[in-house]
Amino acid sequence: MKHSAKTGIGFGLTSAVITTLGLMVGVNASTHSRIAVIGSILTVTFADSFSDALGVHILEESQGKYSHRTVWRSTAYTFLSKILIGCSFVIPLLMLDISRAIIISIIWGFILLGAFSYYIGSFEEKKSWKVVMEHLFIAIIVVFTSHYIGYMISAFIT
């Protein structure tokens, strides 16, 4: 995989999974509203996709190691992977009750993150499963923390 694809897809996938899972679990814990969760996912997917793509673009430019074309490819891969992956979390919410959709989304996010982590781990000297466990551990922390924050918002504000 070329540098631009690995950078863009890796960053976009990871950011989309972590951001979307954290947001949807937190919003669900505070509102239990399907429309609020879907609206939040779509809003953050598009806003954060532009933001992260620009961040990758500026990072790649600032390093001065890559061609103008490579920088723009990394930018495009980041944007497209964030949009596609972020929007994929809406599908279970349209098909299932909200509780099941959240569980399916967490499983989906962990599969995506685990598969890409395994792929990345195959390039490192460490064993791939260690890379997978490290990244999934961080995702678990995000999910639990977001759920707790959403719960606390609901308990103290309503």
pLDDT digits (tens, 9 = 90+) for 20-79: 999 999 999 999 999 999 999 999 999 999 999 998 889 888 988 878 788 898 889 999
User: How far, in Å, are 2, 129, 156 from residue 41 at the CA level?
Assistant: 29, 30, 24
Residue that is written with structure tokens 């719960």 in the block:
151
Q: What's the chain's average pLDDT? A: 92
For residue 134, give every residue at least 6 positions away whose Cβ sits within 8 Å of its Cβ, in sequence order, or none.
Answer: 117
1 pLDDT band (50/70/90 cuts)?
Answer: low
pTM, two decimal places: 0.90
CB atoms under 10 Å from CB of 60, counted, come to 24
